[in-house]
């Protein structure tokens, strides 16, 4: 039965739906169209959109019934329940203002200079159990990423070297040009959704993004404030 003289719930619902639609357009890259359901389907690479997919699809059905099956002004075929209006407004808020990248990043980041001693890195491994260490030059420019597995391999390769003195070894001695880690930088003001886009855009069957380093404005010439791996994204999704 059509409803006459609807309350402002209908207007609130439509406004929230449009806010979500606009947020999807800004977030989802390389979609086939701007159609709401197409954006939801394409956007499932994002944990938040994937989580809310069933709700978003139901919202689209109700919105179509309200707008496209409206028989005349002031009449609605379907009317959203107040709880549904509150729910769609809540989801709109979350999509418009998602978590910041820094909120899920591993921090603080222990970074080192190429002329630092290896023993200094080993102390950080022992104390903080971190496994990735950005390496910089003295001009504070990012050079490469050192991982705990590479440290272990280097120690194993030099284990039988009687002339080796760990206390005298420098970080730069562990650099292996054959090992290239794919790293990109992002601003601490970026959202989790934008970080997910970076992982999606920089990944392929033959390529995997190792990490996103978070700096103040996303420049490689800035010291790291946080570091995000695909595992951090997965952990954030599980905790949600």
pLDDT of 50 > 70? The answer is yes
Quick one: pLDDT band at residue 72, thresholds 50, 70, 90? low
Kindly state the helix (H) or strand (E) to which residue 147 belongs, with its residue range: strand 142-147
pTM of the predicted model as reported, rounded to 2 decimal places: 0.77
Condensed to tens digits (0 to 9), the pLDDT of residues 168-219 reads 899 999 999 999 899 999 999 999 999 999 998 888 778 889 999 999 999 9
Rounded to whole angstroms, the Cα distance separating 50 from 46 reads: 6
Alpha-carbon torsion (100, 33, 85, 6), positive or negative: positive
Rounded to whole angstroms, the Cα distance separating 226 from 195 reads: 12
Q: Write down the pLDDT at residue 3.
A: 42
Domain range summary for the chain, segments of one domain joined by + = 3-97, 103-239
Rounded to whole angstroms, the Cα distance separating 229 from 159 reads: 31
Partners of 3 in beta bridges: 76
Rounded to whole angstroms, the Cα distance separating 201 from 212 reads: 12
Question: What is the phi/psi pair of residue 222, to 5°?
Answer: -115, 150
pLDDT of 224 > 90? The answer is yes
Q: Write down the pLDDT at residue 1.
A: 36
Residue 224 near residue 129 (C-beta atoms within 8 A): no
Question: pLDDT above 70 covers what percent of the chain?
Answer: 89
Kindly report the CATH number that applies to the domain delimited by 103-239. 3.10.580.10
Alpha carbon distances (Å) from 84 to 8, 53, 56, 79, 92: 13, 15, 11, 10, 12
pLDDT of 121 > 90? The answer is yes
Q: What is the mean pLDDT of the chain?
A: 88
């Amino acid at each position: 039965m059509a409803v006459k003289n609807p309350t402002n719930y209908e207007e609130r619902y439509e406004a929230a739906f449009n806010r979500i639609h606009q947020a999807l357009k800004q977030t989802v890259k390389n979609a086939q169209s701007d159609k709401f359901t197409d954006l939801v389907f394409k956007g499932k690479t994002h944990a938040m959109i994937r989580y809310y997919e069933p709700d978003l699809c139901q919202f689209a059905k109700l919105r179509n019934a309200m707008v496209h099956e409206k028989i005349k002004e002031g009449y609605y075929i379907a009317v959203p329940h107040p709880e549904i209006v509150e729910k769609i407004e809540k989801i709109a808020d979350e999509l418009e203002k998602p978590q910041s990248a820094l909120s899920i990043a591993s921090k603080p980041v222990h970074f080192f200079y190429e002329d630092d001693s290896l023993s200094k890195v080993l102390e950080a491994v022992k104390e903080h159990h971190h496994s990735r260490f950005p390496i910089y030059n003295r001009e504070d420019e990012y050079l490469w990423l050192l991982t705990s597995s590479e440290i272990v391999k280097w120690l194993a390769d030099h284990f039988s070297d009687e002339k080796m003195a760990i206390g005298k070894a420098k970080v730069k001695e562990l650099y292996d040009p054959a090992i290239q880690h794919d790293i990109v930088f992002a601003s601490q003001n970026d959202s989790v959704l934008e970080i997910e886009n970076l992982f999606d855009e920089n990944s392929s069957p033959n390529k995997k993004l190792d990490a996103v380093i978070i700096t103040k404005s996303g420049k490689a010439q800035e010291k790291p404030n946080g570091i995000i791996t695909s595992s951090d994204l997965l952990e954030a999704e599980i905790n949600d």
